[in-house]
A and B are shown apart, each in its own frame.
Chain A
């Protein structure tokens, strides 16, 4: 069974540009969550999508947006990039709902804004 796939693994962008990151969840998982992790920090929750609908949202500015497609693949977009957006962006695919939920992470996309 294939794991969670994130593309690209590494990305360098210039301030002011925009970027799109992609995540393909484990087959059968309809929930995809996105997290930002800066050096030495824990996971900061961005948003969660379930069946193409945003279910939860963290405290990030509107420059951060996402969407989910009918095949459960998800994309995350950051517009007007700032230096502080440099981070490891992680996508997690979750087991289908219920009280026992397990998240399976991709390897992440390392974004560097220069």
Chain B
């Protein structure tokens, strides 16, 4: 079974702190996405990474794709209450049958 494991599963931090969320798999991904979901809404696409070692920045969010394209990380600097939500990674596996799979999710709560 091809899985995308995310860690930590839950994270509760104070406003202003930094955090990193990890997304790991034993499979190679041709591309990987990060999404954020707020309660009662659908996930919203934040970023897509394609190249091994790629780093993308979106304001206070930094996304990195592992060199081997099997893992990724999301780092948030100076977290704010508006960052609260469920963070999901998702990736495309094209070896064998085409599959698009989602990670297990990280639920982040930023306290004011």
Contacts and interface: CB of A to CB of B under 8 A. Distances in A.
Interface of A: 4, 33, 35, 40-43, 45, 48, 55-56, 88, 90, 92, 94, 99-108, 110
A42 B105 contact: yes
Interface string B48-72: 1010000000000000000000000
A99 B42 contact: no
Interface residues of B, number: 27
Contacts of A94: 100
Interface stretch (B13-21, B74-82, B86-94): B86-94
B104 A42 contact: yes
Contacts of B100: 33, 48, 94, 101, 103
B42 A108 contact: yes
Given A92-B42, A101-B100, 20 more contacts: A42-B86, A42-B103, A45-B102, A48-B100, A55-B98, A88-B40, A90-B43, A99-B30, A100-B31, A100-B50, A101-B31, A101-B92, A103-B33, A103-B90, A103-B100, A104-B45, A105-B42, A107-B41, A108-B40, A110-B40
B109 interface: no
Interface string B8-32: 0000000000000000000000110
A35 B92 CA distance: 16
B92 A105 contact: no
Contact of A42 (B44, B99, B102): B102
B23 to A, nearest CB: 12
Contacts of B41: 107-108
Contacts of A103: 33, 35, 43, 45, 90, 100
A109 to B, nearest CB: 10
A58 B98 CA distance: 14
B90 A99 contact: no
A52 to B, nearest CB: 17
